Amino acid sequence: MLENRFAPGGYKIERLLGTGGTARVYLARGTHDNRLTALKTVITSDSANLEQFRKLARRELQLIGNLKYHGIVRVFDFRDDPDYPYLKLEYCPEATLDTLPRIESIDCLKNLLSSIAINLHFLYKARLFHGDLKPHNIFLTHDLSEYSGDRLIYSKISDFSLALKAGENRSDRLGLGTVGYMAPETIDSGALDHRSDIFAFGVIAYRLATGQHPFMENESDPVRINGAVKESCPPSPSEIIRAIPKPLSDLIMAMLEKDPGGRPSDGFEICRKLESIDCQYPYRKAIRPKNILELMPDSYAENLPGNEIFAFASPVIKRLTELAGDDHIRLRNVLELYFTRGLLNWTDGRMELSADSDKMFLPKRLFRQDRADFHGLPYSRKKRIILAAVCGGRKEAESVDITNPDEAADYLTAPLLRYAAENISSATWRRFADKIADRASLKYKNYQIAAPLYLKAGNLEKAYTATIDASNELINDNKYDTAFEILRRLKELCRQHGDIRKLRVVLMQIADIEKMIGETIRAEKSYNEIIELYKDSPPDKLLAETHKDLGDLYRMKQDYEKGLKALHQAEELYTGLDDHLQLSHTLNNIGNLLAIKSQYNDALVSYHKALGIQRRLKAAVAVASTLNNIGGMYYFKGRYMRALRVFKIALKIQREIGNAGEIARTLNNLGCAYQEVERFDEAQGCLDESLQLNRKIGSKREILYNLDSLTSVMFSAGNLKDSIKLIREGIALSHELSDKPLAAYFTTHLARVQKRMGYYGQAHDNFSKALELFSGIDDAYQESGCRAGLADLYSSLNMPDKARESLEALLRLAETASDKRTHIIHKIMLGSIEKDIRTIEEALCVAREIKATASINLAEMKLAGLLIADKNYEKAGSLLNRLSSIFVEDRSNLEIAEFYGIYGEYYKGLGDAKQAMTYYEKSLRLSSGHSLKPEMIDALGRIGAILITNKEYEAGYRNYRQAINLVKAIAEDIKDENIRTRFLSGEKIASMAGEVKKLGQILAQTKRAGLKSLP
């Protein structure tokens, strides 16, 4: 027998540990080191079995041979003996899960499940799918009773021979898995990913909780078991064992969802859910930085930016590079220290550092090593390191030829540069700084290196020129923080030298940047500081420009009276200085403020004054700009067709001039006007062209404005999926440009899209983030959109009290801004929540008064829905007929799916089920096309109800089941347990769930009885 013949060299076989389908595992003791090891070898030595075993063993070594994580059974080596090849494995002395009975201790059960789930999260981050998860392949590492506390005790996953690496072909697998543990999608098509492992884990969890297999109880036929996995719904664990808490039972059932999208998103999510039901297992301590770093290449320091596991901000990455350089062992040691001290933690499935970058420290051992390495170098090399440190780094030193990029200067490491920068004297620093700055500025025109060095040396004349030039370069590169820092230092140097003229220019540069990025309070302070410096001094163009820019700032802050006062002061100064072109620009700004205040006639007077000056000066660019402003005024008045005509004239002039930036701006305006008249294709065409132009020009700020307009149009047109990528680009770009207002707008955009697509949890998070951003911004109109979206979300989450609270905040904003449009939205939403016909009729009256087309359509649609519920079919039908003529040709409008659903309810109320079904099916097609999960749920539920009324029970059950799966998908996205519970307790959802459960039980009984239809 093989047991007697298997005697690998260097080992003494102790005993047989177990036998599987193709292999035996033996306990062996090393004859040289006396260590215990598990050796896996073939059961029989025939050629077919040997070949199969070799493939499986090599595959397992290939997949996990380099992983040293405590939650998997390590694979050390494969020895390809001609007769008895074997795999050398880590020996696990404790039991596997298949030997355990039902776990009666709920605390032990939860902790054990959490220990397995975090292992699955590690595999997910390793982009590895096990594919054969079952009780036999999971080891305990301690006695089961020890899993009940809050100690970090691992479980271990073994046997990766059937695993799959992300990106590999399914054909690379050497089998599908074990019957009863394969997910439905694996049975159907061989598909495998981390969600398939979660299904198998759900089977294991069910068995541990109840002592029963969910699909194999009294069944051994593989075909029937696979059929049960795909079709049957087992009773929940809490129905079998009443002691099992319902949240734990629900979690296990969620893992067993047929639809992969309905399962928990990953192992970390399972751990977090277990934690929410008082699981004490410290899963956040299980996966250490060293485990994650093993999954990355040796050059992983370069991969930290944008890494999907380490959520590090740019300053943190920069500091880590200074501390560790490109030495991966140093980086591992630094991160391990932070992890051990609780500064590096797992949050939402990613590692985040709680310490600020300037408080990140180096372990003492590494500091002592750096000190010894630096002082052990020859003088010439130490000097070269100091020069590079003064420059700001090796790359900066190379740019001004302090060091040679082709030189093999291995000693110029980031840690030694950091050590030199932090330990050389101020006198040495200043001496080198002035010399290197001259070299950088005069020879290489590298002002970004020269400016901070001149500032450090205290040379005002040279620092002034270099810093202004450097700040302009930095602004163009959107590096505002760096620009602020060198300008702040220059401001202090000007004060030290008492140079008021230079100080004014520096303050103007600072104020303009602050205004550009939305720091309005700081900008106002800087502008006023400039004005104060002109006391007892004659006015000049800088003072006039300061008043003009201050007026524009007050416009941003919506303090229009102060804005007009500042602009009129600028107008007076430019008139006295005989600067006609700047005077015309100031008149344009005055017109803009008057237009916003709805003083349209006065605004037109100011615009035409500006236009007259510009035409006399033959300033075509300025003429087109003024026409843009006139078109904008008509846009604000709601005279969109007139605005379109003016914008088109401006665009024609801009195309003749050939200024791509102004063409892009005018196209953006045209797109917004087209949106208001609901000509979405033309709107998107203009905005797409504008965006492409700005991408070519490289103007990131104009790209932001384009993205804002374009994503708004795409939302209105129902292009939700396509808009998400652009919205995320807008969020990233607005943060890069430190533009809080646009960051708030884009975050609101994202939340609105996520809400419509049924990502309620993400939408809630983003609405909250947007409101936090709005708290530091004075923009009532945009904040109103955020408040309205949040109120709508709370209504959908079955949280009417929170919805009313948001609507009260919305009303306060509407009253503050005297904004009728916001009043309309408030009344429509309040009427919908309270089911108050009169409130929506009031909203409709105001919308018709100001000719707000989109609001009229929305109010009429909501009103029709309430009238149907009130059985006032005649009035509802009249509204729906009018809306039908608008919506019938416009399949892109996002609201049509809801409109068809309401029309279906109308026909159902009239007793015409066939016509109702037609509209419900239209609603389902459109909502599916736009990925509108909430509307899909409504449509499926309504279709299901009609089918059941028509005694088409199986079809009705399928529709209800699809609706419930969508409900679960929405619920899965909601991380807050209380919010999720409120959502799932809604009357509509509870009713559908009850129907599904009742019909499921009846259908199951019918099948068991062998009947073809329900009695």
Residues 52-88: pLDDT tens digits? 888 889 999 999 998 999 999 999 999 988 888 999 9
pLDDT in tens, 531-568: 999 988 999 999 999 999 999 999 888 788 999 999 99
Rounded to an integer, the average pLDDT of 779-792 is 88
Q: What is the 3-state secondary structure (H, E, C) of 818-843?
A: CCHHHHHHHHHHHHHHHCCHHHHHHH
Length of the chain: 1015
Q: What is the C-alpha to C-alpha distance for residues 448 and 483, in angstroms, rounded to an integer? A: 9
Domains of the chain and CATH, by start: 2-89 (3.30.200.20), 97-285 (1.10.510.10), 289-361 (no CATH), 627-705 (1.25.40.10), 890-1015 (1.25.40.10)
pLDDT at residue number 492: 95
pLDDT in tens, 877-889: 999 998 887 776 5
pLDDT at residue number 560: 86
pLDDT at residue number 767: 94
Q: What is the C-alpha to C-alpha distance for residues 299 and 322, in angstroms, rounded to an integer? A: 15
Residue 1004 CA neighbour count, 13 Å, CB half: 12
Question: Do the bridges between strand 350-353 and strand 155-157 make them parallel or antiparallel, or are there none, so unpaired?
Answer: unpaired
344 forms beta bridges with: 353
Rounded to an integer, the average pLDDT of 359-371 is 86
Q: What is the 3-state secondary structure (H, E, C) of 258-311?
A: CCHHHCCCCHHHHHHHHHHCCCCCCHHHCCCHHHHHCCCCCCHHHHCCCCCCEC
pLDDT in tens, 713-761: 777 767 788 788 889 988 998 888 888 888 998 999 899 999 999 999 9
Of the chain, the percentage scoring pLDDT greater than 90 comes to 47
pLDDT in tens, 760-770: 999 999 999 99
Instruction: Using pLDDT thresholds of 50, 70 and 90, give the confidence band for residue 446.
Output: confident
Position 984 pLDDT exceeds 60? yes
Contact 469, 490 (CB under 8 A): no
Instruction: Using pLDDT thresholds of 50, 70 and 90, give the confidence band for residue 988.
Output: confident
Which of the pair, 327 or 343, is modelled with greater confidence? 343
Rounded to an integer, the average pLDDT of 486-497 is 95
Rounded to an integer, the average pLDDT of 343-356 is 85
Position 306 pLDDT exceeds 50? yes
Pick the most confident of 33-42, 316-325, 398-407, 846-855. Answer: 33-42
Instruction: Using pLDDT thresholds of 50, 70 and 90, give the confidence band for residue 862.
Output: very high
pLDDT at residue number 557: 81
Instruction: Using pLDDT thresholds of 50, 70 and 90, give the confidence band for residue 675.
Output: confident
Q: Which of 618, 631, 620 is nearest to 591 (CA)?
A: 631
pLDDT at residue number 1005: 62
Instruction: Using pLDDT thresholds of 50, 70 and 90, give the confidence band for residue 301.
Output: low
b/e sequence 579-603, b meaning 16+ C-beta within 10 Å: beebbbbbbbbbbbbbbbeebbeeb
pLDDT at residue number 1011: 45
pLDDT at residue number 546: 96
Position 406 pLDDT exceeds 70? no
Which of the pair, 767 or 295, is modelled with greater confidence? 767
pLDDT at residue number 175: 81
The first and second tokens of residue 134, run together, are 């079952």
Q: What is the C-alpha to C-alpha distance for residues 590 and 554, in angstroms, rounded to an integer? A: 12
pLDDT at residue number 888: 61
911 conformational bin, left if phi > 0, alpha if psi -120 to 50, beta if neither: left
Q: Provide CB contacts within 8 A for 297, sequence distance 6+.
A: 303
Instruction: Using pLDDT thresholds of 50, 70 and 90, give the confidence band for residue 409.
Output: low
Position 1012 pLDDT exceeds 50? no
Position 1 pLDDT exceeds 50? no
Position 1009 pLDDT exceeds 60? no
Position 456 pLDDT exceeds 90? no
pLDDT at residue number 892: 54
Position 1013 pLDDT exceeds 50? no
Rounded to an integer, the average pLDDT of 845-871 is 89
Position 3 pLDDT exceeds 70? no
pLDDT at residue number 987: 85
Of the chain, the percentage scoring pLDDT greater than 70 comes to 95
CA-CA distances (angstroms) from residue 694 to 659, 698, 703? 11, 6, 6
Pick the most confident of 421-425, 777-781, 785-789. Answer: 785-789
Full-model pTM: 0.53
**Where do the H-state alpha helices sit in 498-619?**
500-516, 520-533, 541-556, 560-577, 580-596, 600-616
CA dihedral (656, 662, 666, 667) in degrees, to 10, reads 90
Rounded to an integer, the average pLDDT of 297-322 is 72
pLDDT in tens, 583-599: 999 999 998 888 777 78
The first and second tokens of residue 229, run together, are 């996995």
Position 407 pLDDT exceeds 70? no
